[in-house]
Amino acid sequence: MVDTKFQSDWKIHIENLCVRFGSKEVIKNTSASFSQNKINSIIGPSGSGKTTLLRAINRLNDIEENCYTSGKLFIKLEDKWHNILSNYSSPVYLRRKIGMVFQHPNPLPTTIKRNITLALKIITGLSRSEREERLINSLQQVHLWDEVKDRLKKPALILSGGQQQRLCLARTLALEPEIILLDEPTSSLDFKASKRIEQLLLELKQKYTLIVVSHSLRQTRRISDKVYVLSNGKIAQELSSIQIHDDQMFYKVAEDFF
């Protein structure tokens, strides 16, 4: 359902979104639009609702007890706009097209190979050869193939923290999503591993739309095309690429909201 109110470069458009858990309202009547093939970063003080907003985009909040979501959340998938909060929207389809990488690496307690192929077998019904092809392609995309190609039958937990995070990202990419949500993906990693993830995200935006919650203002400046400042459950300010790299403006925003 295409609507002329959606701009051609948008991938996600939120109108008057509210999310509450029981009586506690976490996201409060907020609106925003996120651009496709960009790194859209969400920053804000602790408790401002960053993770809740991120999880609303693939309806992951729905699995929480007493969660109530209202408003409109439009997402363009396969070149068609969908209001994903409508009753007919399929969360299973949604979470396949909108993958998520969490703060701490969470590989399955199985082999490196099965971390990727198991989900493909269950969700997609692909043949063995097709699963093998996606396994290789996804590991190559995250620059992990050369590091693990001779250890595919080894437990994933033998990998370093940075490698585990890239494996989790490869697992998401194997499902061929259009959007990737990342919730502080480098907060548990050392500097070297964090820089590698940052470089990877810059490469991936050529093909995917990325929305990143970051705890690091420096990281946000390095990777972001647009920044959304969340404060008390509302998007208080949006910064363009030019504004992000304006020292005076960026750190004035940081001073006002942190």
Per the prediction, the chain carries an average pLDDT of 94
Q: Give the tens place of pLDDT for each residue, 85-136.
A: 986 678 888 999 999 999 999 999 999 999 999 989 998 889 999 999 999 9
Q: Which helix (H) or strand (E) holds 128?
A: helix 128-141
Distance of CA 11 to the CA centre of its chain: 13
Which own/partner pairs from 187-190 qualify as long-range (CB within 8 Å, at least 24 positions apart)? 187/103, 187/104, 187/215, 188/103, 188/104, 188/105, 188/161, 189/161, 189/162, 189/165, 190/161, 190/162
For residues 255 and 158, which has the higher predicted lDDT (pLDDT)?
158
Q: Give the tens place of pLDDT for each residue, 179-206.
A: 999 999 999 999 999 999 999 999 999 9
Q: Give the tens place of pLDDT for each residue, 60-98.
A: 999 999 999 999 999 999 999 999 998 667 888 899 999
State the pLDDT at residue 49.
97
Looking at domain 10-106+177-257, its CATH superfamily turns out to be P-loop containing nucleotide triphosphate hydrolases (3.40.50.300)
State the pLDDT at residue 88.
67
Return phi, psi of residue 93, to 5°: -60, -45
- Spell out the domain ranges in the chain: 10-106+177-257
Pairing status of strand 98-101 against strand 179-183: parallel
